[in-house]
Amino acid sequence: MTQYTIDEINKSYDIAIDILNENPSIHFKGVISNTPLTLNVNSEMRFLLLSLQIETCFHLDFIKIFDVNGEPILSSVQTKISSFFNDDVKHAGIDLLNGHPNGGCGFHTKNEHSPWFFIDLGELKEVKEIQIFNRDDKFYLRALSLKVDISSNLSQWTNIYDALENVKKVPNTAENKLVIAFLESDLLIPTKISNILSDKGYFKDSDACRNHVYTLVNKLVEKYNVALCSHGFVETFNFSSDIKKNIIYSELSTLLSWFNNEFNISAFVSSGTLLGIVRDGKFIDHDDDVDICYISNEIDERLILQERIQIINLLIDKGCEVQFSNEAHLWCTMPNGTSVDIFTGFIEDGFCSMNPFSRKSILANDILPTKLFYVDEFPMFLPSNPEVVLDANYDNNWRVPDPLWRFDWSNAYRSFKFLYEKLL
């Protein structure tokens, strides 16, 4: 394994910058920002294959295909898709070429490796241009590894666009691993850079070198108003306006009030949200989401699940959108758009067991009763002894900021398996 020094990190970064200066990455969006991807084809074709080159969900808003006269090609068009989200045919993109782009989602695959969308024009057409409209929201980045191929007969294909062109020009050797990671980072693909940062074996002076790589990669992507965090490249609170943060504080405060004062279920800020409020008096700059945990009034597993369904219905009645995540918590979108992760806890043998912590790791009286704490003018609910909770979450190291910290989810499923059930 190559071990990088500061000088070698700088050299890799400079090589990546030189490549990007010669051939900049394309960050295409959609109709709202007026930045679709426009491809000059000027060729006869019948089939069009759009695919991604990483593991992710694939979604675009709209596609326009123009003939030699500049007229859109619509008749006899058929489409196929590698999968559709939630197995719901409404995400299959049947009408992707009909109508008008709106910045939304015209099709949506499942999360999978190299998802694709296929278009058959029905017969050979002389095509002048293809316009590809991405989503015009924070999820646009999922499509940035796009590859576009055309064919007249399905046996011979011609590539007309490859977002990873820069990456593929660099020999895939151990010495170039960091160069490639920087190049993919400029397309907001986090996998390689995150893997390097999570393995201290890549660095001779692990802490200093890892922090230097982290600083450089965020310098690289700051022009896109995102930063690298545990969830990949996202708009962290550091890029959020005070107005936006105040909306989040307000909706978080409202949500906690609903739980504690209307639903009669104790709830409090947790995880990184708790850490930021206790340590810094605000959201953590390098964080991007909001977390709360509620403590069930039930102790039986089936009753805990039934109560969770009741909570979902109460939140929907309040105008929220609620979905199950893959880690047994709820994704809640508040009426004004704030996204909150809602985790479940319960009392057992005098302890509060809270997903995804280890069970019976925190005494119940360190959690309950919750206490009120103000962030500016916004009332928040905290656990009764937040320092104990933070010690359990962050191994006593929470007082020193560490943007490279990652939670170990490996035991969560085994410890809270019953919470992964979707009781309907």
State the average pLDDT over residues 174-183: 95
Q: Are residues 129 and 190 in the same domain?
A: no
Domain finish residue from 135, 162, 189: 162
CA atoms within 13 A on the CB side of 248: 21
Alpha helices (H) in 48-190, listed in sequence order: 165-169, 177-186
Residue 409 reports pLDDT greater than 90: no
Instruction: Give the pLDDT confidence of 15-53 residue by residue, as tens digits.
Output: 999 999 999 999 999 999 999 999 999 999 999 999 999
Give the residue with greater pLDDT, 97 vs 259.
259
Average pLDDT on 355-382 reads 94
Mean pLDDT (the chain, rounded) = 93
Residue 80 lies in a domain: yes
Question: Same structural domain for residues 76 and 192?
Answer: no
Same domain (yes/no): 214, 253: no
For residues 159 and 231, which has the higher predicted lDDT (pLDDT)?
159
**Residue 207, pLDDT above cutoff 90:** no
Q: 149 and 175, same structural domain?
A: no
Q: What is residue 62's predicted lDDT score, i.e. its pLDDT?
A: 95
Residue 197 has which token pair? 């940062």
Instruction: Give the range of the structural domain holding residue 14, as residue numbers without chain letter.
Output: 6-24+166-233
| CATH classification at residue 245 | 3.30.460.10
Q: Which region, left, alpha or beta, applies to residue 154 given φ > 0 means left and ψ of -120 to 50 means alpha?
A: left
Q: What is the pLDDT of residue 99?
A: 85
Q: What is the pLDDT of residue 423?
A: 54
Query: In whole angstroms, what separates CA 181 from the centre of its chain?
Result: 18
Question: Would you state the pLDDT for residue 405?
Answer: 81
- Structure token pair of residue 201: 């074996």
29 inside domain: no
| Main-chain phi, psi angles of 329, to 5 degrees | -110, 175
Distance in angstroms (rounded) separating the CA atoms of residues 241 and 249: 12
- Judged by DSSP in three states, 233 sits in strand
Average pLDDT over residues 245-264: 97
Task: Quote the percentage of the chain above a pLDDT of 70.
Answer: 99
Q: What is the pLDDT of residues 327-359, one digit of tens each?
A: 789 999 999 999 999 999 999 999 999 999 889
Question: Is residue 325 located within the same domain as residue 249?
Answer: yes
Same domain, 268 and 304: yes
What is the per-residue pLDDT for 58?
97
Residue 32 lies in a domain: no
Q: Examine the domain organization and report whether 317 and 218 are in the same domain.
A: no
Judgement on whether residues 174 and 266 belong to the same structural domain of the protein: no
Which has more pLDDT, 6 or 411? 6
Q: Is residue 353 part of a domain?
A: yes
How far apart (Å, rounded) are the C-alpha atoms in residues 340 and 342? 6
Predicted confidence at residue 75, as pLDDT, reads: 67
Cα(316)–Cα(377) distance, integer angstroms:
27
- Domain count for the chain: 3
How far, in Å, CA of 260 to CA of 373, rounded?
14
Shared-domain flag, residues 132 and 60 = yes
Same domain, 184 and 281: no
Q: What is the CA angle 180-182-185, rounded to 5?
A: 110
Residue-wise pLDDT for 313-328, tens only, equals 999 999 999 998 877 8
Indicate if the pLDDT at residue 76 is higher than 80. no
Distance CA 142, CA 138 (A): 9
**Number of CB atoms found within 10 A of residue 339's CB:** 14
User: Do 192 and 89 reside in the same domain of the chain?
Assistant: no
